[in-house]
Amino acid sequence: MTTRAIEVPLPPNVEPTADERALVDLLCRAIFELRPVEGEPCWARTARLMREAGWDVHWRLTWVAEGRREGHIEEGVGPTLDEAFGRLQELALLDEVEGCP
């Protein structure tokens, strides 16, 4: 893999946190993962075939928040980080109310 630098203009007096820098890195990787090296990418072929079969196909990026405790795993999924963590918290609270660890 080749590393390239991309400059991003920021407002004055803004210093990105480590989490924000990691997020920008992941977003850039996700954008470039959508481009095929050669030919049609697998996801595009699948979408095309489904459309040809009459499906109305859409896609979007989403957040996944994961919690682990004592061998149990919960995942909250949502279009924003706040919603993903909110759903994760709901699932964790349900486990606690129902007597799970």
Give the domain ranges of the chain: 11-57, 62-101
Write down the pLDDT at residue 50.
95
Report the Cα–Cα distance between both ends of the chain, in Å, rounded: 43
Q: How confident is the model at residue 94 (pLDDT cuts 50, 70, 90)?
A: confident
- Give the pLDDT confidence of 5-24 residue by residue, as tens digits: 888 888 899 899 999 888 88
Write down the pLDDT at residue 78.
94
The number of residues making up the chain comes to 101
